[in-house]
Amino acid sequence: MTKGCRYGTHRVIEPKGTLPQPAHRLDNTMSVYDNEVLIEVSTLNIDSASYTQIKKACGKDPEKMKQMILSIVEERGKMQNPVTGSGGMLIGTVKEIGPLFPSNKLKVGDKIATLVSLSLTPLKIKQIKKLTPDSDQVDVEAEAILFESGLFAVLPADIPEKLALAALDVAGAPAQVDRLVTEGDIVCIIGGGGKSGILCCYQAMQNTGPSGKVIVVEFSKENAQRIIDLNLATDVIVADATNVMDVYNRVMAVTGGRGCDVTVNNVNVPSTEMTSILITKGQGCVYFFSMATSFTKAALGAEGVGKDINLIVGNGYAKGHADLTLNILRESKPVRELFEKLYL
């Protein structure tokens, strides 16, 4: 065995000198270097922005979607949507561990979820066993490589695998909400009715307390009703987040013209950057968890409207994020029941 770079640069085919995530192509040969882990993959959870783009491009045809995913992985050696740039994550069983892999918490046969993006994970798919347009979880026969620097979580015994996968795929979002939101804050969660949005709503309601507000902006009436039924917000607005001034006026009406202390953007479509920025008060914070975000639009747009606010890139990793997110499923029976309905 040969020792590879801690960050996986030895797997980069082109362009040389870069890291696996921004690389165009990776070596997806499934022979481990001595600081890598080989995983037998059972399910991919494809990033929501990526899956939405694939679904639209293929007209919701499952067979065309399968072929598009297979062609991306064949060309790139990883699951990185060339339009959105995003990936997702996976669950599988540890098949082989290189002798220099640093963690002693892992053994062959463990079922794990990778907590790093598929956009940097060497992947080889033998076949797609199950794909439905309504679920971003794709069952596969495949293998993948985890680098020495790669984060992972051993799947818990008390939560079904696919349920854990659904939650861990977006674990960074509620963990960042926990950091950003304090008691009494006014918080707006754009795209609050989806998977990451529900978890963010729950955490925001916990943090703001009775003196704060959690406002949800949601395009889908059905998803908005979920939030109301679960009592995960103080105010729910059904609106198209790409219609900037409509959402701005409605949020300002709820906040009495004050705006929001923290705005969390979870939508899976582009052109919602300025909505997030306008509804946030001066010196407030926007957390762009959505991978459909154009950070150029966000940065230059905030400058253009004279908004002095903190813009946070949606880093999917926050220390302790896996435990915090899985604990939401343990703490909230209604949230868990909803996730079971959607993902089991």
Length of the chain: 344
Provide the residue-wise pLDDT of the chain in tens; the chain has 344 residues. Answer: 688 999 999 999 999 999 999 999 999 999 999 999 999 999 999 999 999 999 999 999 999 999 999 999 999 999 999 999 999 999 999 999 999 998 888 999 999 999 999 999 999 999 999 999 999 999 999 999 999 999 999 999 999 999 999 999 999 999 999 999 999 999 999 999 999 999 999 999 999 999 999 999 999 999 999 999 999 999 999 999 999 999 999 999 999 999 999 999 999 889 999 999 999 999 999 999 988 899 999 999 999 999 999 999 988 899 999 999 999 999 999 999 999 998 88
Q: Which domains does the chain have, with CATH numbers?
A: 9-155 (no CATH), 172-343 (3.90.180.10)
Look at residue 38 in the predicted model and tell me its pLDDT. Answer: 98
Helix H, strand E, coil C: the string for the chain is CCCCCCCCHHHEEECCCCCCCCCCEECCCCCCCCCCEEEEEEEEEECHHHHHHHHHHCCCCHHHHHHHHHHHHHHHCCCCCCCCCCCEEEEEEEEEECCCCCCCCCCCCCEEEECCCHHHCCEEEEEEEECCCCCCEEEEEEEEEECCCCCEEECCCCCCHHHHHHHHCCCHHHHHHHHHCCCCCEEEEECCCCHHHHHHHHHHHHHHCCCCEEEEEECCHHHHHHHHHHCCCCEEEECCCCCHHHHHHHHHHHHCCCCEEEEEECCCCCCCHHHHHHCEEEEEEEEECCCCCCHHHHHHHHHHCCCCCEEEECCCCCCCHHHHHHHHHHHCHHHHHHHHHHHC
**Which tokens is 157 given?**
């015994």
